[in-house]
Amino acid sequence: MTPETELARLIELIGPFNKKGVAISESTRFADDLELDSLTVMDLVANIEDEWDINIPLNLLPDLENVGQLADAVAKLKG
């Protein structure tokens, strides 16, 4: 189960990077659906880190393919 509060806020944070205007849900994929390049991902990750006062290690990123997985990771890192 994806934590609801993180998910809602995460979708807001992704908004400015959603250049293609796709509908964002838990299953939206960063590379395939949002077509985020590595530089955009970097900006988004930095914003998310500051929102929840966490560090998201680079080593985690390859495993976070969709919005739901990222929300789970945020919830976990927040502790």
Partner 1 sequence: MDLLSKFDAVIAEHSGLLASGVRDPFGVVMTQVLSPTRAIINGRETILVGTYNYMGMTFDSDVISAGEQALRAFGAGSTGSRVLNGTFAPHIAVEQALMDFYGTASAIVFSTGYQANLGMVSTLAGKGDYIVLDADSHASIYDGCKLGNAEVVRFRHNNVDDLDKRLGRLPKEAGKLVILEGVYSMLGDVAPLKELVAVAKSHGAMTMVDEAHAMGFFGANGRGVYEEQGLEADVDFVVGTFSKSVGTVGGFAVSNHPKFEILRLVCNPYRFTASLPPAVAATAEASIRKLMRAQAKRDNLWAVSRKLHGGLQAAGFQMATETPESAIIAVLLPDQLSTVAMWHQLIEHGIYCNMSRPPATPAGVFLLRCSLSAAHTTEDVDIIVARFVQARDALAAMKAA
Contact residues toward partner 1 (CB under 8 A) are 37-39, 42, 45-46, 49-50, 53-59
Q: Which residue has the tokens 């914003």?
A: 47
- What's the DSSP call for residue 34? S
Select 26 or 54, whichever has its Cβ closest to partner 1: 54
Closest distance to partner 1 from the beta carbon of 39 (Å)? 5
Select 1 or 39, whichever has its Cβ closest to partner 1: 39
Select 24 or 56, whichever has its Cβ closest to partner 1: 56
Closest distance to partner 1 from the beta carbon of 13 (Å)? 16
Task: Compute φ and ψ for 29, nearest 5 degrees.
Answer: -95, 140
With H, G, I as helix, E, B as strand and everything else as coil, classify residue 79: coil
Closest distance to partner 1 from the beta carbon of 12 (Å)? 20
Could you tell me the CA-to-CA distances from 59 to 19, 26, 64 in Å, in that order?
26, 21, 10
Task: Compute φ and ψ for 27, nearest 5 degrees.
Answer: -90, 0
